[in-house]
Amino acid sequence: MQRALSAPGKLFLSGEYAVLWGGTARIGAVGPRTAALVRRRADRDIHLVLAEGRIVGTTTPVGVRWKGDVPPGFFFAARTLDEALRAHGAEALGFELAIAPSPTSPDGHKLGMGGSACATVLAAEAARFVLEDRYDALKLALLAHGKAQQLKGSGGDVAAIFAGGIVRYRRYAIDALVRASDSGRLAAALAESPPVDLWRLPSPKVHLAYAFTRKSASTRVLIGEVESRLGEEGRVAFVRTSDQLGDQLEEGLLRGDFAAVREAARELEVALASLGPLETEAMRQVIALAETCGCAGKLSGAGGGDGCILFAPDEDALHALTATLAARGFHAFALSQEPGLRGEGSADPELLSWLHSG
């Protein structure tokens, strides 16, 4: 029994930080996609295979008994397999799971497009398939990703990667699932828990692009720094502003009203700047270049690095913008709206070779 899967990356269009405090985020599922391959074994061993290598463990009803410490690069997928086995709640045959690396820039930097969330979603569905379970893979992925981040993240990246397209999302509370996971009743809690507040939007009528700013950032660290600076009253005010501007951005994208999109993007960037030094000099350069090309941009995600989401009124402006950014050393490319997690008709040959080599 084996199955090939793939999932997209993600980029925040609006709602960064606000979604942590009860607000709404708009997140896009974008290419390139990441492949995975899962195959059942005849014994109880689990092999998790990434570009960095292979770790091995044994299935138990309360998670994987890993042989040694789990290296950082394996952490999110390994955590997800633990939760999947807890949801299964019984003895099970093992399996092999290979996950392709996250997309990188030409110089080898990860692009900040949700690699950990993508690995989590792929691992959740791969385990569900091979264990022949019926749990909600999105909820399990939200649980695993949240626990791996010490409950700091919003889960928006997980939701967008799972659902595909551009989604409107509000943070899913995983506290009850965490308690259930720790007390041995995760399967029942997943079935009883409320649905995820997730809505897939129609395709935008404005062109999108992404520019990577040659520097990666730690989302968990940045969230901690922002929350240490901002009190409850400040968070409420920020959420109100972010939600209003997010509504304006969404309406502009769906109507093809570039003037409204540009104004919303500018004001969202101002609001994010009020949270602290999230915007780097490279981000300021990208946004300024976007303006000179008749486009607009804002940081996407937690800030401190990674990249900017860019909006263009037409294809000519989009091409001019990406060419201008490339001439100045930025890795920039047009974005396609991608479907979410899906099965594939054939396995990635590289992933097949990884499994055969074990």
Cβ(275)–Cβ(229) under 8 Å? yes
Q: Set out the domains of the chain in order of their start, with CATH numbers.
A: 2-201+340-356 (3.30.230.10), 207-334 (3.30.70.890)
Those residues with Cβ within 8 angstroms of residue 183's Cβ, 6 or more apart along the chain or in another chain: none
How far is residue 135 from each of residues 187, 191, 244, measured CA to CA in Å? 7, 7, 35
Of 3 and 110, more confident: 3
Mean pLDDT of 231-235: 90
Average pLDDT score, the chain: 94
Res 103: pLDDT: 84
List, in sequence order, the alpha helices (H) in 149-273: 156-163, 175-183, 186-192, 219-229, 232-255, 258-273
Mean pLDDT of 261-279: 93
Res 276: pLDDT: 84
Res 305: pLDDT: 65
SS3 345: coil
- Tell me the per-residue pLDDT of 112-125, one tens digit each, with 9 for 90 and over: 899 999 999 999 99
Res 226: pLDDT: 84
Res 106: pLDDT: 81
Of 49 and 230, more confident: 49
Mean pLDDT of 88-108: 91
Res 153: pLDDT: 86
What does the alpha-carbon distance between residue 268 and residue 113 come to, in Å, rounded to a whole number? 20
User: How would you classify the pairing of strands 95-99 and 45-50?
Assistant: parallel
How deeply is 254 buried, as exposed, middle or buried, from its count of CB atoms within 10 A (0-12, 13-18, 19+)? middle
- Tell me the per-residue pLDDT of 185-217, one tens digit each, with 9 for 90 and over: 999 999 999 999 999 999 999 999 999 987 766
What does the alpha-carbon distance between residue 309 and residue 287 come to, in Å, rounded to a whole number? 9
